[in-house]
Structure 1
Amino acid sequence: MDNFKQNRIKKIELASGILIGIIIIGFIAYVIYQRENVIAGMLRIITSPAVLITDFLVIGGIGAVFLNAFLILIFNLTLTKLLKVEINGLVIACFFTVFGFSFFGKNILNVLPFYLGGILYSVFEHIDFKEIFITICFTTALAPFVSEVAFRVDTTDTSYINAIALGIIIGFIVTPLAKKMANFHEGFNLYNLGFTGGILGAVITSILKLYHFQIIPTRIISTEFDLALKILCTAVFIALIIIGFIINDSSFKGYRNLLKDTGLKADYVLKYGYGLTFINMGIMGFVAIGFLMLIGEKLNGPLLAGVLAVVGFSAYGKHFKNTIPILVGVWFAGWGTSTNGFTTALSALFGTSLAPVAGVYGTVWGIIAGWLHLAVVQSIGTVHGGLNLYNNGFSAGIVAGFLLPFMNITRTYKATQRMKYLKRKKQLYKAISEERKKWADEDEDDI
């Protein structure tokens, strides 16, 4: 078994190395071609308030954005190695999601205080930090709080200290909160930390506003890097499918079984192996890009984060059968309304966190969940002032928690009706059987 685990680890490390290599080559080539000042761009990213929606492609340029993303990725990979964290579906989902949000909202400095808070919590509770490592990684959704306090809200001499202290406090208290919040949506929102971050962000934002700290939402979105990002994504998705195909003994065998999975608390790595998981991730990447092309939206920092979140969580709950109903529901909700294409696209990609709804309760409920998600997500951001990057995860948690009682009532009613039908059917068969027996007895008497 130990050799089997070692082989799996080597396969995942090989796959990760190839994917990172593809991105690095594309990154270096593009930076050299554009002759960007990466260092100056990186400084602008680090000192940006980072409130929703701040596209770092506009702030720092594509070279600086990829440098920022790689620094965060390497930092997390190093911690994973040092802590000896097993690479499962949730870990893969975490890495892809955090990498994606490095294109808007997260930078290598504003995420660090959360890890310090997590370490302090692990010491306080006498637990191993690796047990809460993934929770802390996702908690960096609240990174804009650190940047906002450091560079906009508080202009005193202690602003940086205040920002670091706030990040440490959030990192310290988030783990018990996340465990509690998961009960609200019962796992039907894959982005549980988005829901937790929304609640926590709302409380902190309210406190800041109480002391007259003004948080100003922004809307900075790039439009010029669509082709470069699509080429890079296509290369990564093809690589994922090829690597998965090779790991899965050069076949797609078993993928149909994965597509039958509901996606509820489903770690595809543990259930189906790395091969099928990578195949699913690559396919879902093309589904996400295809959806953007279908509705005519260009790739930018936020939408790339949405695509990568879809790909990452295709290792933990998503496949095209349970995500397409969500996409359809969001698109349907935006059709014929004043909602712009970017908002619809972003809400649809991140709204696929509701994939287990479609997986467990069916396509119709999936479409309803997607439709309701777009309605909720457009208003819910004001609660936390745009400082929770996983705003869609917050919305999805509310939608899932709201729909669950109705979905369960419907399911119970259908189950009850089916039981009554089967009971009547059984009684009918019994009556027919008794009648046939009676006829047979009468025939014997006649003879």
Structure 2
Amino acid sequence: MIRYKSMYRLILLYAAALMAAALIFDDPANILPGLWKIVTMQDVLITDYVQIAGPGAAFVNAGLVTAASVLLLYVAKDPLNGFTITEIGLMSGFALFGKNIFNIWPIILGTWLYAKLQKEPFSKYAAVALLATALSPLVSYMTFGSRHAHPLLGLLIGIGIGMVLPPLSAYTYKVQNGMNLYNMGFACGLLAMMLVPVLEAVGDAPDSAFFWATGNNGRFAPLMVVLCLAFLLCGFFLTGKPAWAVWAGYRRLLTSTGRAPSDYLRMLGAGPVLVNMGVNGLVCTGYILLVGGDLNGPTLGGILTVIGFSAYGKHVRNILPIIGGVMLGGAFMHFNLNDASVQLAALFGTTLAPFAGVFGWPAGVVAGFLHSAVVLQAGSVLAGVNLYNNGYSGGLIAIVLFPTVMAIFRHRKPELTPRDLFEVFQEDKPAPMERDLTPEEREPEGEPFPALREEEAYENCGPSER
């Protein structure tokens, strides 16, 4: 635990960098009016804060949400690990299109009340509280956009959401077998499927939105390249390990399945994780530019989400088949790859990366192909209130595809069980090092989080990670 205390400072530095970017891309005089617009409007999917309020307000909001998230984790004394990086990636990314410094708090309060009612420490549910803010657009809608809009109504529905999602997300994790990395997206989708029809029944359902900024590639592409290169340089040269050892750790990371939970920080250390973050960020940025897409609030949010999950399940070998499957779906189903929804499907569809990691790239391509179609239809009944719509679609695909593929594999190997799929890092399989570490290069005595095999990570993970 002590080893990762520096994560708080680094995340706050990242939040400060986001707010500094606001001053680069916009006139400071536009920031406060833009923040007010972000806070006081409905922000169901797709509401690009860059489009409605300008890049300055969008990046300041992302910085504020990121800082608030890390302070919440610090106060709650949430255990620091790879999933912490994932939470921050999600919160900062979605703070560019849907989450703001106002609408996240009622849901967090609801989860805190749930912990109190259960007489358990909030640290056990802090991660759930942050991820449950996927339904924060519903708080904004009931506060500002509903026919019965009132701040008290928004507060109450947010508290209700925060109290329901901890037990619901724990249950939905079990039925997906770790194949959908966005488990909370699936849980939020199920809850939204109950709430939205109720609103429709009383004639008060929200309407989906479409605010999508264009023309920012020339400004945002260099920003993402600099950020990703910073991750790479820090990984190779600022983690206290020789560059060759970091590279060896990264190559070992690429052999993992990515099946949840796969805490790469605890398994392999900070160096390989930072390199993985930089590589994945460059790949996703390059993809958007390659297909003629737009770098804006939602797509930057998708890239930051992939970067966050680079510490918890995603790497270039298991996300490329998913992206390839989405591209294949575009070719067969006559979608344009630069359509807004398809761009987001390619980025967020990497929630299904474990299919490629566990069963090989053909299964990943199939999962991506299915996702390219399912995600475009699955979210229509949710009226845009679930920001993790791709997680909801991914959950549906995981529930159907996993037992199907397992049946095929079991036919070839009858003794195979789902548990066997975790066993990738074997105790008798050394890391691919070119030479032995010197005493100065070895881990310090009393290492609180030694490298773990994937099955050990599963046994040791907390409820919030499952």
Structure 1 length as normaliser, TM-score? 0.88
Alignment partner of 1:406 is 2:404: yes
Which one of the candidate residues 222, 234, 239 is aligned to 1:231? 222
Secondary structure of the corresponding residue to residue 80 of structure 2: coil
Q: Tell me what 1:173 maps to.
A: 164
Distance 1:23 1:235, change over 3 A: farther
Alignment partner of 1:296 is 2:292: yes
Separation in structure 1 between the aligned mates of residue 321 and residue 332 of structure 2, nearest angstrom: 19
Deviations 1:353-395 (A, max 9, x none): 0011110011101000000011110001122111000000000
Q: Tell me what 1:196 maps to.
A: 187
Deviations 1:28-79 (A, max 9, x none): 2333xx4542111111101110011111111111111111111111111111
Distance 1:360 1:349, change over 3 A: same
Displacement of 1:8 in angstroms is: 3.8
Alignment partner of 1:250 is 2:245: no
Greater Rg by CA: 1
Displacement of 1:417 in angstroms is: 11
Deviations 1:290-345 (A, max 9, x none): 11122111201111111111100010000000110000001110125342322221
Unaligned runs of 5+ in 2: 417-466
Q: Tell me what 1:311 maps to.
A: 307
8 A contact 1:51–1:144 mirrored in 2:
yes
8 A contact 2:18–2:60 mirrored in 1:
no
8 A contact 1:19–1:239 mirrored in 2:
no
Which one of the candidate residues 340, 351, 354 is aligned to 2:352? 354
Separation in structure 2 between the aligned mates of residue 312 and residue 65 of structure 1, nearest angstrom: 19
Q: Tell me what 1:324 maps to.
A: 320
Q: Tell me what 1:426 maps to.
A: none
Moved runs in structure 1, 4+ residues, more than 6 A? none
Separation in structure 2 between the aligned mates of residue 79 and residue 20 of structure 1, nearest angstrom: 14
Secondary structure of the corresponding residue to residue 413 of structure 2: helix
8 A contact 2:11–2:70 mirrored in 1:
no
Displacement of 1:13 in angstroms is: 4.3
Secondary structure of the corresponding residue to residue 249 of structure 1: coil
Kindly provide the amino acid, as one letter, of the partner of residue 387 in structure 1.
Answer: V
Separation in structure 2 between the aligned mates of residue 215 and residue 18 of structure 1, nearest angstrom: 37
Q: Tell me what 1:148 maps to.
A: 141
Q: Tell me what 2:2 maps to.
A: 6
Q: Tell me what 1:93 maps to.
A: 86
8 A contact 2:4–2:80 mirrored in 1:
no
Q: Tell me what 1:390 maps to.
A: 388
Secondary structure of the corresponding residue to residue 5 of structure 2: helix
Structure 2 length as normaliser, TM-score? 0.85
Kindly provide the amino acid, as one letter, of the partner of residue 315 in structure 1.
Answer: A
Secondary structure of the corresponding residue to residue 127 of structure 1: coil
Give % identity: 34
Alignment partner of 1:241 is 2:232: yes
Distance 1:296 1:72, change over 3 A: same
Q: Tell me what 1:261 maps to.
A: 256
Matches within 5 A, 1:7-46: 7-10=3-6, 12-13=7-8, 15-16=10-11, 18-31=13-26, 34=27, 36-46=29-39
Separation in structure 2 between the aligned mates of residue 77 and residue 240 of structure 1, nearest angstrom: 19
Which one of the candidate residues 274, 277, 281 is aligned to 1:285? 281
Q: Tell me what 2:449 maps to.
A: none
Kindly provide the amino acid, as one letter, of the partner of residue 351 in structure 1.
Answer: G
Unaligned runs of 5+ in 1: 419-447
Displacement of 1:23 in angstroms is: 3.4
Displacement of 1:167 in angstroms is: 0.2
Deviations 1:200-256 (A, max 9, x none): 011010111111113211111001322222222111111111111121513123111
